[in-house]
A and B are shown apart, each in its own frame.
Chain A
Amino acid sequence: MQVILEDIRKYFGDVKANDGINLTLQPGKIYGLLGENGAGKSTLMKVLSGYHPPDDGRIILNSTQVAFSSPSDALLQGIGMIYQDPLDIPAMRVIENYLLGWDRRVVLDYARAEDELRQNADRMGFHVDFDAYIDSLSLGERQQLEMLRLLALGAEVLILDEPTTGISAEQKESLFASLRRLAEEENKTVILVSHKLSDIQELCDHVFVLRRGKLIGSADIPCPTQKLVEMMFEELPPRRSRVSYARDGSALLQLQNVEVEGDRLQVGNVNLNIRDGEVFGLAGLEGSGQRLILQACAGLMPVYAGRIIFDQRDVTRWPYRKMLQAGVAYLPAGRLEEGLIAGLSLMEHIALSNPMPGFLIDWRHYERETEARIQRYEVVGQVNSFVETLSGGNQQRSLFAMLRDDLKLLLMEHPTRGLDVRSADWIWQLLYQRVETGTAVLFISADLDELVERSDHIVAFSGGAMSRVVQADQTTADELGYLIGGE
């Protein structure tokens, strides 16, 4: 089945997730969809798979224009998508999950479904246990089941969203073999959405690259990695020279062979040394493990193996509260979900994050303090403003304004996300003031520019593996792109 996407547009508020995209897909081929986070790949595929309707543009299947009312409607017309977190029902058993939406009859035909599932699984080389509960399966197994289900229901076009994050190498080989079979022997169209250059090059026939909602370019595989990286990432402006405040001497924070396990990802062999006054950047696309490591440093994530040494002490088993008391601060990215509290005012936030000794709250003191911080951090808001009424950028500033003065280590997720260039620059000036006094900064960012510009050293994460450490003033966009892409 031939698929044509014409001038697809999708907006979320002000954000142009898809800004006029045109693609043609032929049957029997494997396509790659490449791009950074925020490039618009998942959104585009969600539009194609019927999850949301496009705000503008057309979808044409085999010369007929179509519109989907829901993912199951799209599936009826042959388009199926397997999400990063497959949309299955964890509390159901495999066979029940398979049966949901399988046919229109009232009574469930377990026998026939089991037969069909067994046959299809054998053909694809998968092993399936009908009675297992979905929540006991690995991500790879859940993907396999979802694939079998979609194919059985007539998917001609199969979309996979970041399928190789969180599965083992063996499972990946098996997955790729099945996908090749589907394309070559059954003339299906396969679309692989990924940020992993190696996967794209290994599997795909042709690749489309998105950047900031637009289709930047496409290429046939084989294609030099260099070219792909150039398309994915914008050119970096030359880096301004900057003084490093990193102090010589022993490390403030050391990670030794640290291993952390998240929901879907295992991060291992992490070794880092961060000195007082050092700015250390963690690069990598979302879900690659850097957030898990950052949380481990704060005591928010249990460490399975290895050690974390902070300020000469072994803090591997320390809980978050203890780390807070020891002079560590953690600034999450989800402003209203994890950092700020809707319904509380700025002043109340300052009071919470900067407690004074004693039971009572001296509101006059906090009023003055909040005023001062509003000035210093240029927050557009009043002492009594509820934080949910502030703009995103001001919320970010508020998070900064809440930081204590005497910090040793500042852990930040995406510190300048949602800020314009001037505000971001200015936040960093404030950060450098702290850095100068010896505070170390460990931060995650998706903005290569920021990483290169602001850090002393950078390390990239890809699929749970840490790259080598690079010096910010000597690296290039290409090099970083490679590291992020998992090379």
Chain B
Amino acid sequence: MRRIRWHLPNWIVVSIAIIASLLVTSLLLLLFGVSPMDGFGAMLLGAFGDSTKVLSVTAFWVPLALASAGLILTFTAGLWNIGVEGQIIMGAVAASWVALRIDAPRPILLVLELSLAMAAGALWAGITALLKTRGKVHEIFGGLALNNLAIIFTNYLISGPWQPPEGGTFRGTDPFQAKALLPLYRDSRLSPLSVIITLVVIALIYFVLRGTKWGLRLKALGKNPRSAFILGVSSERETILAMMICGAFAGLGGSVRVLSWFDSLRQSISGGIGYLALLVVMLSATRILLTPFIAFFFSAVLNGSITLQLRTQLHSSLGGILTGVMVLFVLLFSGTRSLKLPSQKTLEVEEDE
């Protein structure tokens, strides 16, 4: 059986992916009696219609971009950090703890919240990393279990120790005091500070991957662990470090989420941002410079779909379908090298002479 060698240049693949996703989305819209023009129009309006919307899209973008940036590191190292969702959640939990239990002047409060969130995310990721390096538990399952444990823990906090005075509602904790929250821009949910932090983080990761020994070692590890070993790269150490740093940034994203988008710890505090971030990274072929743009695109589509729902009564998951189909096509049809994912092993029947 012969393999199909798809030597399509990248831009063709991406175009096909975009067209395919637009087609599928249009079809679905038509199926439900909505014209594609109306549908896409609603989405565009929902994302960019007025300044509030754009600010919302940006606010949603922040944790997504942070998590995606962190995932670039783990993907570079050849790891499947599905546990990023839990790392976001634990970051939110840590920030909430500071917000609810600590009293201090605002700047100190904010610094504490953000730092502890990073620490919590890093630790949560560290557990998954250790399970992998010492326990040979694949990081997909370790991450999955820890994701669920993080959610269970959050629910426990909301309905237990941190329940609002009127009783556990399973929706969220007491709203945080104003000074614990990130300063927001006017009426929006956007924290300008968080945008700056995000851009700094992205620049940092770009720099780390390009200009540090550690970044180079990660690349080596992800592409060929055996050769990397011969060259002196320690797989255990780099795996743990990469996971923890990703966890830290994911946790940071979680804290931004709970301190600006929301004002309290909620049941679905992350709501799948971690999984979305994995898609973002897949679509950006693990290139850090593309990630923030693709994350913004995802954010626009998802926020736009909410307006779509309001206007056309169609479920907002359409946005997820659009982005999902796009990623699927890019994944299936781009040349292996350009995607740079932890690639599957191929068993070639060997010739030994």
Asked whether any CB of A lies within 8 Å of a CB of B in the complex, the reply is: yes
Binding site for B on A (CB under 8 A): 12, 17, 37-43, 320-321, 324, 330, 332, 336-344, 348-349, 351-353, 355, 358-361, 363
Beyond the given A12-B351, A38-B353, A343-B340, could you list 17 further A-B residue pairs with CB under 8 A, ordered by the A residue number?
A17-B353, A37-B353, A320-B229, A320-B232, A324-B232, A338-B226, A338-B227, A338-B230, A341-B228, A344-B219, A348-B219, A351-B213, A352-B216, A352-B232, A352-B233, A353-B231, A360-B213
Closest to A12 in B: B351
- With known contacts A355-B213, A359-B214, A343–B223 Cβ distance under 8 A: yes
Q: Which of A37, A349, A360 has the most CB of B within 10 A?
A: A360
- With known contacts A324-B232, A360-B211, A342–B223 Cβ distance under 8 A: yes
- With known contacts A338-B226, A342-B224, A344-B223, A361–B353 Cβ distance under 8 A: no
B337 contacts the other chain (Cβ, under 8 Å)? yes
B109 contacts the other chain (Cβ, under 8 Å)? no
Q: Is the CB of B219 within 8 A of A42?
A: no
Closest to A37 in B: B353
- With known contacts A40-B353, A43-B353, A361–B211 Cβ distance under 8 A: yes
How far is it, in angstroms, between the C-alpha of A358 and the C-alpha of B220 when the chains are bound? Answer: 18
Q: Is the CB of A337 within 8 A of B340?
A: no
Residues of A within 8 A of B227 (CB): 336-341
Shortest CB-to-CB span from B319 to chain A, Å, is 34
Interface residues of B in 223-253 (CB under 8 A from A): 223-224, 226-234
B166 contacts the other chain (Cβ, under 8 Å)? no
Q: Is the CB of B232 within 8 A of A339?
A: no
Shortest CB-to-CB span from B254 to chain A, Å, is 28
The secondary structure that dominates the B interface is: helix
How far is it, in angstroms, between the C-alpha of A126 and the C-alpha of B234 when the chains are bound? Answer: 46
B352 contacts the other chain (Cβ, under 8 Å)? yes
B53 contacts the other chain (Cβ, under 8 Å)? no
Residues of A within 8 A of B229 (CB): 320
How far is it, in angstroms, between the C-alpha of A374 and the C-alpha of B211 when the chains are bound? Answer: 22
Option from B213, B234, B340 in Cβ contact (under 8 Å) with A361: B213
Q: Which of A17, A37, A352, A361 has the most CB of B within 10 A?
A: A352
Shortest CB-to-CB span from B58 to chain A, Å, is 32
Residues of A within 8 A of B234 (CB): 321
Residues of A within 8 A of B220 (CB): 341, 344, 348, 352
Shortest CB-to-CB span from B223 to chain A, Å, is 5
Q: Is the CB of B216 within 8 A of A321?
A: no
Shortest CB-to-CB span from B92 to chain A, Å, is 31
B217 contacts the other chain (Cβ, under 8 Å)? yes
How far is it, in angstroms, between the C-alpha of A38 and the C-alpha of B229 when the chains are bound? Answer: 29
Interface residues of B in 310-353 (CB under 8 A from A): 337, 340, 351-353
Shortest CB-to-CB span from B171 to chain A, Å, is 45
Encode contact with A along B138-174: 1 for CB under 8 Å, 0 otherwise: 0000000000000000000000000000000000000
B51 contacts the other chain (Cβ, under 8 Å)? no
Shortest CB-to-CB span from A87 to chain B, Å, is 10
- With known contacts A338-B226, A363-B211, A343–B353 Cβ distance under 8 A: no
Q: Is the CB of A361 within 8 A of B226?
A: no
Shortest CB-to-CB span from A349 to chain B, Å, is 8
Residues of B within 8 A of A363 (CB): 211
Option from B217, B337, B352 in Cβ contact (under 8 Å) with A42: B352
Residues of B within 8 A of A349 (CB): 231
How far is it, in angstroms, between the C-alpha of A349 and the C-alpha of B228 when the chains are bound? Answer: 10
How far is it, in angstroms, between the C-alpha of A349 and the C-alpha of B227 when the chains are bound? Answer: 11
Shortest CB-to-CB span from A340 to chain B, Å, is 6
Closest to B234 in A: A321
Shortest CB-to-CB span from B109 to chain A, Å, is 32
Option from B211, B224, B232, B340 in Cβ contact (under 8 Å) with A341: B224
Q: Is the CB of B212 within 8 A of A360?
A: yes
Q: Is the CB of B211 within 8 A of A330?
A: no
How far is it, in angstroms, between the C-alpha of A183 and the C-alpha of B159 when the chains are bound? Answer: 81
How far is it, in angstroms, between the C-alpha of A417 and the C-alpha of B273 when the chains are bound? Answer: 51
Closest to B350 in A: A85
Q: Is the CB of B351 within 8 A of A352?
A: no
Closest 5 CB pairs of A and B: A341-B224, A343-B223, A341-B227, A341-B223, A352-B231
29 contacts between A and B (CB under 8 A): A17-B351, A17-B353, A37-B353, A39-B353, A41-B353, A42-B353, A320-B229, A337-B227, A338-B230, A339-B227, A339-B230, A340-B224, A340-B227, A341-B220, A341-B224, A341-B227, A342-B223, A343-B223, A343-B224, A343-B337, A344-B223, A348-B216, A351-B216, A353-B232, A355-B213, A359-B212, A361-B211, A361-B212, A361-B216
Residues of B within 8 A of A37 (CB): 353
How far is it, in angstroms, between the C-alpha of A349 and the C-alpha of B232 when the chains are bound? Answer: 12
Option from B212, B219, B226 in Cβ contact (under 8 Å) with A337: B226
Residues of A within 8 A of B230 (CB): 330, 332, 338-339
Residues of B within 8 A of A320 (CB): 229, 232
How far is it, in angstroms, between the C-alpha of A336 and the C-alpha of B230 when the chains are bound? Answer: 12
Closest to B352 in A: A42
Closest to A331 in B: B230
How far is it, in angstroms, between the C-alpha of A343 and the C-alpha of B219 when the chains are bound? Answer: 9
